[in-house]
């Protein structure tokens, strides 16, 4: 797990709440059917699991393969964020 993901989990547990949709974010809407931004930096990235809707693609600038996850909503569903 990425360190930033670990920090977000600890913060959410400490506060005991999810933040919901961050309407002030300049990157909104980064995911389809977005419900919750508590885990904005994905704690699972790169999951490499195509069942999430993600897929491998070439980075537009570097040409190197990256995991594209804009279709993934697992961590961004309110019920999952609360768990």
pLDDT, tens digit (0-9, with 9 covering 90-100), for 24-57? 877 666 666 777 877 776 656 677 888 877 888 8
Residue 62 and residue 10: Cα distance in Å, rounded? 33
- What is the pLDDT averaged over residues 1-24? 76
Question: pTM for the whole thing?
Answer: 0.46
Confidence at 4, pLDDT banded by 50, 70, 90: low
Looking at residue 30, its pLDDT comes to 67
Is there a contact between 76 and 31 (Cβ–Cβ < 8 Å)? yes
Q: How many CA atoms lie within 13 A of 20 on its CB side?
A: 2
Per-residue model confidence as pLDDT tens digits over 5-15: 677 778 878 88
For residues 75 and 43, what is the distance between their CA atoms, to the nearest angstrom? Answer: 8
Per-residue pLDDT averaged across 53-71, rounded?
A: 80
CA distance 54 to 46: 9
């Amino acid at each position: 797990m990425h360190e930033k993901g670990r920090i977000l989990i600890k913060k959410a547990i400490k506060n005991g709440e999810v933040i919901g949709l961050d309407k002030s974010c300049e990157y909104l809407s980064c995911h389809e059917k977005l419900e919750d931004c508590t885990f904005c930096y994905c704690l699972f990235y790169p999951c490499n699991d195509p069942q999430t809707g993600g897929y491998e693609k070439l980075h537009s600038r570097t040409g190197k393969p990256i995991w594209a996850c804009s279709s993934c909503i697992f961590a961004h569903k309110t019920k999952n964020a609360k768990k």
